[in-house]
Amino acid sequence: MNLRSLIPSGNGGNRVNPSANPFGFLHREIDRLFEDFTRGLDVTGQTQANLVPSIDVAETDKEIVITAEMPGLERKDVEISLENDMLTIRGEKKVEREKEDKNKSYHLIERNYGVFYRVLQLPPGVDPSKVQATMANGVLKITIPKPARSETKKIEVKESA
């Protein structure tokens, strides 16, 4: 399997088939550069840490395993979908406020809250019904069985009449 097909797309932006566009690589790199530049800025222009979870992608002969760190989240906070060979991991880290928070005066808030997502392109032919996901101790594990490879069939060239 080509691991380039598993490069995450943080924005879920349009993907262009590299063979259809000779400048596809340059386009993706420029998009990545702008995304990296603007990722940590909020509306006031101050930097904020990124909510996008760090992931590991591993492969065996039979499956692809994606592991994502999601500290402080529970299963109900995470959604996974697969459409057109694009795996989307979406989650939301909600603000944890106590009832007595109205009496508190915060001097520093470094914890991040909000919605995040990651989009990964999978090899064609993945069966969505066979994808499994588990979550324990803030770590999401997605197991994706690889699609069966199509066998090459030789076609005999016959003499035309």
Asked if residue 75 is part of any domain, the answer here is: yes
Asked if residue 23 is part of any domain, the answer here is: yes
Asked if residue 21 is part of any domain, the answer here is: yes
This model's pTM is above 0.75: no
Q: Can you spell out the DSSP letters for 74-113?
A: -GGGEEEEEETTEEEEEEEE-----GGGGG---S------
> For residue 41, what are the β-bridge partners?
47
pLDDT in tens, 33-62: 777 666 555 544 444 456 788 899 999 999
Asked if residue 9 is part of any domain, the answer here is: yes
CATH code of the domain in which 48 resides = 2.60.40.790
Asked if residue 150 is part of any domain, the answer here is: no
Place of tokens 């324990």: 136
Whole-angstrom Cα distance, residue 113 to residue 52?
Answer: 11
Asked if residue 161 is part of any domain, the answer here is: no
Structural domain that includes position 90: 3-95+111-145
In the chain (161 residues long), the average pLDDT of successive 10-residue segments reads 51 50 78 69 50 89 93 91 92 75 76 86 89 94 88 87 76
* Token code pair at residue 133: 């996901």
Asked if residue 159 is part of any domain, the answer here is: no
Asked if residue 18 is part of any domain, the answer here is: yes
pLDDT in tens, 72-82: 888 999 999 99
Number of domains in the chain: 1
